[in-house]
Each structure stands twice: as C-alpha cells, then as structure tokens.
A = this chain, B = another copy of it.
Amino acid sequence: MGSRRSSPHSCPGGGTWVLGVDSGGSGLRVALAAVAPGVAAEVVQSVAFGEPVRTGAGGIDAGQLLERLVPAAEGLLGRAGAGGLAAVAVGAAGMATLGDELRARLPEALRRSLGVDRLALAADAVTAYAGALGQRPGAVVAAGTGMIALGTDLSTWRRADGWGHLLGDCGGGAWIGRAGLEAAMRAYDGRRGGSAALLARVEAVFGPPATLPGLLYPRADRPAVLASFAPEVARCAADDPVSAGILARAAGHIAEAAAAVCPPGDDREVALTGGLFAMGDPLLVPLRAELAEQLPYARPVSAAGDPLSGAVAVAAALATDTLRLPRQPGMLDTTPL
C-alpha cells in the first residue's frame, strides 16, 4: 500500500487513473480509465465476470465483491503500467436497500488493498443516469426485466418505480411478459381480453398452456421467466391488437415514471437506457408519443453510454473534484461514508 500511495497516480498524458465498477444481475464489470483535466475519461481496459455478486440477507456480499474486484484492479493497473488510482466508483444493484455491508467495509478495504481514498458507492440507477446523461440535469429511464426512472436537478435525486415485479416495474420486461401470458391464458379459457396470437406463442415456447404454472412458480427467477416472453408480445404487436394494447400501456407507464422524476425547466433531456428498448418500434413508437404528451417540455435523447461508463464518469468527477451529481444516502455516497 505504501509503495502505491507514494507513487503519483499519473498516467502518460499527465492525468490520473480511475476505476469504474458495475455490479448487477448479469455480472460484475470493472473498467480502468485515464482522466485528464477538461477531457472525458477514457477507458483503457476492462474486465467482466459473468456471475453476479452474491446478495444475502445482510445485503450485497462485500467479501465476494472484494475477492473479485481487488485482483482485477491490480491486473488492470499492472497491464496499463499505472502506479495507483485516484478514485473508484462502484455502481451496484440493490445499493439503496442492501448496501449497508458495502458502506461499512469497502472504504477501508480499498484503502488497504489498492491505496485509494476516494470512493463513490452508487445505486445502479445512478450509474445508469451518469452513463446516459453525464452530469446534466434531466431524467433517465433504465429498463430491462425491471423499470426505474431517475431524475435530478443536480440538487436532489428523484426516483420513480423500480419496486419489483409485484409492486411495480410497470412497463418493464417482466410487466410486459406477464401481461402477455395473462392474455394468452384468457384466450385459453375463453375469457374476454384474450389473444389467440399470444396463446399460439405460449404453446410454441412453453408447451401446453395448462403446464405453465408448474413451469413458472417453482423457479427462483420468475421475473426473468416472465420477461423472456416480452419479445413475443413485441413480435405479435403488428397484427394483434391485444399485444399492441399491452405495449401501449407499457409505454404509458414508462412515461408516467419519467414524468414523475424529470425536473421542471425548459429543454430538459430524457434518456432511455437498458435492454428493454432493444425491442424497437413496437415499444418505441407508442413511448415517443406518450413522452411527447406527458413530458412536452422534455427532449428525448440517446443515452451516451452504459452504466459502466457512468461509473467511470462518477470516478473521474470524484478524482478531479468536479462531481456535480447530488450526494444522497443510498443513491450516491462518497467517502467518508
């Protein structure tokens, strides 16, 4: 540690080195970036672990995160010929409710192992925000299996939804898939509101409809199973009014969340990020219409980058004393925690 801290954190161009970390349901990614004053951080190398970091009753497993993060960071630093790190930012799913162990253990562990004093712990929605809009005020919708909207006027964060598949995540992948499966079972029963097209897709994907409960309920990853059916709803939407109706309602819910968090003001930016939007026009066409109606003062923009690039951006801002995104417990904590 002493040797690292005595060496300057400088990189070849005269800047410093920072580490961005993205820990989510699909795994752990770590990026090393060079930071120079007045220039966007540039990622030089990154590594990815496909397995997510464990989450137990006590929250995100800080020990397992450190076991992967520290050697990965040392490897990245070694290969880049970097002497040390000026800052680390960790974005983690469940940070707001499950981050107590990270807050308690990470600062001291990273100081000891990597010689870094400056640490940011962020909710994954915050790194998604920073990746999409950088440090500008506005709103970001992050949607995959779930759906959450986050907005800031740079003095405080506002969050909407992201409450999970039973309490909300309205319009996300599990929501769309669940609505599609319900419409299929309605057709199977002969109830009002059924879709023969979606029933045919259930039969093709899962087999006999009556076996679906036995396939779904015993699974631990029920939201992912539900979300796996969302692309089928999108595929049916062109010819099936029930499917198109589900996506129209999803678009309405996503826009409601964005409208609840977007700060007032002219020419605000609203960015969409996450795998759900790969669904394309069947969702994006009604979503653009809903955003125009519910947030007429905001301008939809493309997300500049992903949550890993957002973690790098937060680390770079921390290293250069230019962090403008609001610090708020459970959303964005910086050392001393």
A12 close to chain B: CB less than 8 A: no
Q: In the bound complex, how far is the Cα of B8 from the Cα of A325, in angstroms?
A: 85
Q: By the criterion CB–CB under 8 Å, are B260 and A163 in contact?
A: no
Q: Does A226 contact B (CB under 8 A)?
A: yes
Give the interface size bracket for A toward B: 35 or more
Closest CB in chain B relative to A129 CB, distance in Å:
16
Chain A positions 90-106 with a Cβ under 8 Å from a chain B Cβ = 96-98
Q: Is the pair A166, B217 in contact by a Cβ cutoff of 8 Å?
A: yes
Question: Would you call A160 and B190 a contact (CB within 8 A)?
Answer: yes
List residues of chain B with CB within 8 A of the CB of A186.
168, 256
Distance of A226 Cα from B226 Cα, bound (Å): 19
CA distance in complex: A294, B190 (Å): 13
Is B166 a contact of A97 with CB atoms below 8 Å? no
With A181-B167, A182-B168 given, is the CB distance from A191 to B222 under 8 Å?
A: no
- CB of A216 within 8 A of chain B? yes
Among the interface residues A161, A186, A191, which one has the most CB atoms of the partner chain B within 10 A?
A: A191
Give chain A interface residues in 257-274, CB to chain B under 8 Å.
257, 259-261
CB distance from A187 to the nearest CB of B (A): 11
In the bound complex, what is the Cα–Cα distance between A167 and B213 (angstroms)?
Answer: 8
Looking at A168, A170, A190, which has the most chain B CB atoms within 10 Å of its CB? A168
A164 touching B257, Cβ below 8 Å = no
A79 interface hit (Cβ, 8 Å): no
- A118 on the interface (CB 8 Å rule)? no
B213 touches A97 (CB 8 A): yes
Cα separation A214 to B166 with both chains bound (whole Å): 12
A210 in contact with B167 (CB, 8 Å): no
B97 touches A189 (CB 8 A): no
* Bound: A118/B260 CA distance, A: 63
A166-B216 in contact (CB<8A):
yes
Residues of B within 8 A of A201 (CB): none
- Chain A 46-62, CB-CB to B under 8 Å as 1, else 0, gives 00000000000100000
Return 11 A-B CB contacts under 8 Å, by A number.
A96-B210, A97-B214, A164-B213, A165-B166, A166-B178, A166-B222, A167-B182, A167-B185, A167-B212, A191-B257, A193-B256
Not counting A167-B212, A189-B257, A191-B259, a sample of 14 additional A-B residue pairs whose C-beta atoms are within 8 angstroms of each other reads: A96-B210, A97-B210, A159-B189, A160-B191, A161-B185, A164-B213, A167-B178, A167-B182, A170-B182, A189-B260, A191-B256, A191-B257, A191-B260, A193-B256
